[in-house]
Every structure is written in C-alpha cells, then in structure tokens.
Amino acid sequence: MTTPDALRAQLSGVIAFPVTPFHDDLSLNVEGLRHNLQALKDAPICAVVAAAGTGEFHTLSPDELRQVIEVTVAELGGRVPVLAATGINTALGVQLAAQARELGVDGLLLFPSYYPTADEDALLAYYKTLADATPLGVLIYSRDSFNPTPGFVQRLADAIPNLIALKDGQGDTRRLQQIMHKVGERLLWIGGAGDDAVPGYYSIGIRTYTSSIANLSPKISRQLHETAAAGDSATLAQLMAHYVLPLYAFRARRKGYEVSVMKRLMEKIGLVGGPVRPPLADLREPEYAELEALAAIWR
C-alpha cells in the first residue's frame, strides 16, 4: 500500500485526468478507455485520476466506476500512482473508497457533497468520514459550491491526518494565496482549474497541476509545467496562445463543453471519446467543422 507521505512525494508535475469513453448508446466503452490509457503509458505525468470530473464521475454507477478503476490500475498502476474519485454523500463515498482500495489505487480525490450550502461543522464531518474510511492519502477538491475559507482549510488539515493536498478548482489565485499562507506546507497545493490557469498558479508557487490536455498531448502538458516552473514566460505565452487558449475558448461556449469538446477532439486525433452523458451538453452539429481547425493543431 502506498502511504499518504509516499503519495504526496510523487505528486510533482502533471496529473492526468482521462475522459471516460462511451459508445453512441452511452454505455461504457471499456476497450476505448484501455486504448486511451495505453497512449499514456510512457507519458511524462506524475499521476492519473480514474474517472474524476473530466471522466464524468457523477454520471457513473458504482459498477461502472469499478470497471474504470480496474482498467486504469491494470494499464498504469505501478508506472504512476492511480487515484480514484469518491464523495457525493457519506454512504456512497465510504462504499466507493473501500471499492477503490480493493482495486489497488494509491489515493483518493474527495469530491464535494451533494448539499451545496452545508454548515461548516457538518461539512467537516463529511470530509472526515470519507477520509477515516481509508488508510490511503486523500486530496480534497475545491470546486463548484465548495469554496473554503483559509480558516476552514486549516480546520480540515488539523482534523484529517491522511489529508495530503488541496486541489483548487476555483482559479481564484488571490483566495488561494490566502489559504496557502494560512496553512503553509502542511498540504500540497495543486492547481486544478484548468491548463489555462497554469501561468497564474505557477506565479504563486504551485508546481503540480491537473491537466485535461494530457488527454490530447501529455507532452504539451509537461511543457506547460516545465516552462512555467522555469519562469520562461516567453515560451509559456507561445504555448498558451497556440494550443491552450483557442481550446479553452471553445470549451467555454457552453456548460459541459469542458468535457465534450475534449472527447470529440480526441476522436479527431485517433483516440476514443464518444458522447457525454446528460446533463453535460454535447457539441452542436455545425460546431464539428470548427473543431476540425483545432484538430489540425493537435494532430
């Protein structure tokens, strides 16, 4: 078993967030997932998360999640740490945490609760219940309605011994700096709002980020990390302008496009994507022609 400290020590650089491919009837495409993961086998990444946000965690049944984790561990386990998502509510979260450990993952990413306006004491109990259900290292994901204050992150760090990191999905570097100043080195800080946020994250000292672009080119993800960490602002700006910003502008058009654009673009470059499950939105027919221009860059 990977200890929390050992996992934390390995999380430096790019964490890949693979998509979960579906067939046209929205059933799980296990062989498509296997194909995509094989393309990551020699990639310059430090970890991979099985079926997280980009992987449509919220739309999967526990059995489907089991299949995704099994394939991910089989393809990448031992090469890099494999993490799995859990959360939504305590009963399901504890069940998924136990399932993930049985399947050989190295750590867990804790998603926010289904209840968006929970009291802080109750929310602390939620995260502690999930973390106490496993000896593995856990990362808490700040996203959507869960936008904690510095004081609350300190409470989480104090109450949960196996909490090793906070993954920020808000992209608010001002608030994140305040949290980092309050909590210090007790936690590892992970940039998780998107590849387009790398310049901002790295300007405040973060050196690990989660990349959906790793689905298309882990090499570009790694270059973003290396140029930002080295302070090579000119090369970083070129990478952002050529690869990242046009893609993220397309993704920002419509809710759900942060996943569906990635999946449809993957199909254009020889990988497997498929449709997204509702309530995520798939591309409109006229937009497929526009996607071809992006595909020419990513090929």
List the domains of the chain with CATH numbers.
4-231 (3.20.20.70)
Cα–Cα dist 155/124, whole Å? 8
Q: Do residues 40 and 48 touch, judged by C-beta distance below 8 A?
A: yes
Q: What is the pTM of this model?
A: 0.97
DSSP, res 57: G
Q: Name the one residue in this structure whose structure tokens are 């990977």.
A: 2
DSSP, res 178: H
pLDDT in tens, 144-203: 999 999 999 999 999 999 999 999 999 999 999 999 999 999 999 999 999 999 999 999
Cα–Cα dist 292/49, whole Å? 28
- pLDDT, position 1: 85
- Which helix (H) or strand (E) covers residue 120, if one does? helix 120-132
Cα–Cα dist 4/132, whole Å? 13
Cα–Cα dist 89/92, whole Å? 6
- pLDDT, position 28: 98
pLDDT in tens, 8-26: 999 999 999 999 999 999 9
What is the signed CA dihedral for 121, 123, 125, 129, rounded to 10 degrees? Answer: -170
DSSP secondary structure string for all residues of 212-277: SGGGT-HHHHHHHHHHHHHT-HHHHHHHIIIIIHHHHHHHTTSTTHHHHHHHHHHHHTT----PPP
Q: Which residues of the chain have pLDDT under 50?
A: none
Q: Do residues 90 and 118 touch, judged by C-beta distance below 8 A?
A: no
Is the link from the previous residue into 279 a cis peptide, with omega within 30 of 0? yes
Mean pLDDT, the chain, integer: 97
